[in-house]
Structure 1
Amino acid sequence: MMNGFVLGGVSSGVGKTVATLSIIRSLADAGYDVQPAKAGPDFIDPSHHEAIAGRPSRTLDLWLEGEDGLRRNYRRGEGDICVVEGVMGLYDGDGSSTAMVAEALDLPVVLVVDAKAGMESVAATALGFENYADTIGRDIEVVGVVAQRAHGGRHEQGIRDALPDDLEYFGRIPPSDDLEIPDRHLGLEMGDEAALPTDALREAAESLRPERLAAVASEPPASETEPSTGVPADPVDATVAVASDAAFCFRYPATIERVRERADLATFSPVAGDPVPDCDGVYLPGGYPELHADDLASAGTLDELGDLASEGVPVLGECGGLMAMSRSLTTAEGERSEMAGILPADVTMHDRYQALDHVELEAIEGSLTADTGETVRGHEFHYSSADVDSDARFAFETVRGDGIDGEHDGLTEYESLGTYAHVHPESGAFDRFLERVEPPRK
């Protein structure tokens, strides 16, 4: 069982991802087998974790997974020690804050503090974050700090001297232009596009104390209701085709694991024009179809998907998948491309994000991921909007979140479903999808 700790930031933009990657590098170079993880529903930061650690990063989100699901997903990781990168500031977020994840897993918190313009104030900030847990009744332990953008010499020593005895100094990340990850809409560029140089990370990690970080890590409690190896389920006699390329890259490792556990999985690239594999259902994850709209429109795979959907093959699309299932996709610059034409909608990109939140959906009618009356929890973050036909059918009402039109999500046509919500397999939605795509036994 892995010990672990959580890297919590004092705010968004404090440099948690760079600190996380530097710590992963430092621990690995010290001989530890590291499992990365991310608190919150992000896809981009985990891609950078994987580029450095060499294994997929686990997603840890209370809203998406529930407490037991969170613990199960943690335990599916591998390695000696788990480094959990937080989301936003330590206490920010009502659905699943970093502090809530640390509390659910009973893991210590190492605070990432921007020390660019402070010494004693770094200690004051850390002490305030430590004491605030008691103020709000949150059972977490802040055990020390990593000083981001801190110089050596007097600057570093001043930070160390100012820290109270119960807050340990775990080292610093020096300021460096080589530790900047390019960004675009939805966040940073993906790890396979802009992985930080190993030499720069090793140089940044020289001032870290990996043995002390490993020493404060602790083991989370087991899930109370299910085996730690995952939720048992019967196999389904079905093959699921999963789109996997630069346009469809937002998928949780646990989702792919779940499909493989219960069904046969085949991958294909719509951007490359791959034919859709012989299958009983198709999963189109989110990603960046807007950056590859011309290739998608000309490659022919989306046309084939449209034909298959009209013949009754179930297609499930999340966010970018929904966009690809629409009639058309128009970029923020006004360039229009034809998509699969499965759903009665036209999608337009915008310069500003249109939705960002944890979501809860209640099923109006049975669909690929829920029975009538069931609720599904997920996450939405998108820069596009969908203009839907007046007679379009929705599968869900939005209890929380914006969905497609502010009140509904889940456009449904034929046996297919397109939604702006990303869901985790611990929600049960993918199990229902797998069971629905299984062909009837003869």
Structure 2
Amino acid sequence: MRGFVLGGVSSGVGKTVATLSIVRALADAGYAVQPAKAGPDFIDPSHHEATAGRPSRTLDLWLEGEDGLRRNYQRGDGDLCVVEGVMGLYDGDGSSTAMVAEALDLPVVLVVDAKAGMESVAATALGFREYAAAIGRDIEVAGIVAQRAHGGRHERGIRDALPDDLEFFGRIPPSSDLEIPDRHLGLEMGAEAALPTDALREAAETIDADRLAATASDAAEPEVRPEAAERAGPVDATVAIASDAAFCFRYPATIERFRERAALVTFSPVAGDPVPDCDGVYLPGGYPELHAAELEAAGTLAELGDRASEGLPVLGECGGLMTMSRSLTTVDGERAEMAGILPADVTMYDRYRALDHVELAAVEGTLTAGAGETIRGHEFHYSSADVDADARFAFETVRGDGIDGDHDGLTEYESLGTYVHVHPESGAFDRFLESIAP
């Protein structure tokens, strides 16, 4: 599958809007577009899916490793992949956009904010291209998309200033209809605040879809092909996954891995669905703090707590950890009872408490790792957990903050709650499935 990477000159430059406009332009030109996101984000990919009609692939070297990243790319469904970058092109020590582009051997299209510049836009693009060689990054900056650029003299000034070997692929016009509302953790989800199709189509008219498609190249192949990388054979287990507005942070590849190896059922704790008949429960992250009162009133979490105390394995990540705890207190001071599986009380804050790529070392065998194994993941949360003095932790933090700065993975009964999100290429979900199999 051919593709290219959209790299920004900085965070906040408008990469997501540019990505959605380009996806719309390519789709309207007849291309089957597979969106992807560099980095561990869950929110931008939800907007990709709302526009492209396909789940977005997560491409992160820290979470997946180089071969895993390439496999995840190759699992995409389309003839052209548009990869939205993370932060600025070169920013990030664990998995920058430039590192992802280099690992996949894909060209970079630079998103530059042009609202107050013309020749300076060209100078910025040239600097980003030359910097790759200066630091030894084997990437090609093929050209630019000018964000917040007007037509006429403004567009001509940018075009004329660009060197001959830097392409002008189009512009995204300034428009209040191309603004996605945000909140803590980032933008609102695509299902809540998808950009209007008409506004995207208007922006897409200024994008040269065929020139972008011609710039795309075939991605580097993994050493181990996707079909050969799967663990041999299914496991005789049923996994129940919480799926609603409170539990919405999950990678498509995680769902794919569960379906490849086990039976999968979903339920909604917000709606009060009963806990399904299953061998294990996965509580992904999301926004339980926005639905705390509903979760308390619905009764599903109380039932889940009872089932966990009887030995049902429950795996919770971030928001899942929060709902596995005894209580959740919102920023407004409202306290809600949660499942009571883990000996902790969680409090929300108006500023993030942790944001980093993470590495954990298992001090004992647990649902996602054997004793002595390490797993890599990502943490981003606005809450902290007040943990009982005799609480048991499954992991020591090699990198990252975890729950108390030194540990992560609260464990009780047969269950595990962690602040860390992991990708299936880490092997953690294979271990989970094999742990819960009867």
1:394 maps to amino acid = F
The 8 Å contact of residues 222 and 228 in structure 1, kept in 2 or not, is answered as: no
Deviations 1:297-325 (A, max 9, x none): 01010011101100111000000000000
The structural deviation recorded for 1:230 is: 4.7
> 2:158 is matched by which residue type in structure 1?
I
Pair 1:228–1:161, CA change in 2 (3 A): farther
Corresponding residue for 1:306? 305
Query: Match of 1:85?
Result: 84
Indicate conservation of the 8 Å contact 2:3/2:216, yes or no.
yes
Question: What does the per-residue CA deviation read over 1:136-191, in whole Å, with 9 as the maximum and x for residues that have no partner?
Answer: 10100000000000000000000000000110000000000000000000000000
Deviation at 1:226, TM superposition (A): 3.9
Question: Does the CA contact (< 8 Å) of 2:74 and 2:226 recur in 1?
Answer: no
CA distance in 1 between partners of 2:132 and 2:408 (Å): 36
Q: Deviation digits for residues 71-110 of structure 1, max 9, x if unmatched?
A: 0000000111000000000000000000000000000000
Aligned partner of 1:152 in structure 2 is 151
For structure 1, list consecutive stretches of 5 or more residues without a partner in the other structure: none
Amino acid in structure 2 at the alignment position of 1:281: G
Q: Secondary structure at the match of 1:59?
A: strand
CA contact (8 A) 2:75 2:226 kept: no
Q: Secondary structure at the match of 1:65?
A: helix
Structure 1 residue 225 displacement after superposition: 2.8
**Equivalent residue number for residue 184 of structure 1:** 183
Q: Kindly report which structure 2 residues correspond to 1:78-117, keeping only aligned pairs within 5 A, or say none.
A: 78-117=77-116
Amino acid at match of 2:346: V
Count of residues paired in the alignment: 438
- Give 1:267's aligned amino acid: T
User: Conserved in 2, the CA contact under 8 Å of 1:75 and 1:229?
Assistant: no
Q: What is the TM-score with the length of structure 2 in the denominator?
A: 0.99
Deviates most, 5-14 or 233-242: 233-242
Correspondence for 2:314: 315
Aligned to 2:261: 262
Partner of 2:223: 224
Aligned to 1:402: 401
Aligned to 1:392: 391
Query: What is the aligned partner in structure 2 of residue 40 from structure 1?
Result: 39
> CA RMSD of the aligned region, Å?
0.7
Q: Distance in 1 between matches of 2:226 and 2:358?
A: 28
> What displacement does 1:228 show?
5.3
Task: Please report how far the alpha carbon of residue 236 of structure 1 lies from its aligned counterpart in structure 2 after TM superposition.
Answer: 0.3
CA separation in 1, counterparts of 2:287 and 2:65?
28
Structure 1 SS opposite 2:217: coil
1:233-312 matches, cutoff 5 A: 233-312=232-311
Shift of 1:266: 0.3
Which amino acid is the alignment partner of residue 73 of structure 1? N
The residue identity in structure 2 corresponding to 1:146 is: V
Q: Which residue of 1 aligns with 2:382?
A: 383
CA distance in 1, matches of 2:428, 2:244: 23
Instruction: Give how far 1:221 is off.
Output: 1.8
How many angstroms does 1:222 deviate by?
A: 1.3
Q: Please state how far the C-alpha of 1:232 moved relative to its aligned partner.
A: 3.9
Residue 213 of structure 1 is matched in structure 2 by 212
Q: % of aligned pairs identical? A: 85
Matched letter for residue 202 of structure 1: R
Q: Aligned with 1:260: secondary structure?
A: helix
TM-score (norm 1): 0.98
Check 1:229–1:82 CA distance in 2 against 1; reply closer, same or farther (3 A cut). Answer: farther
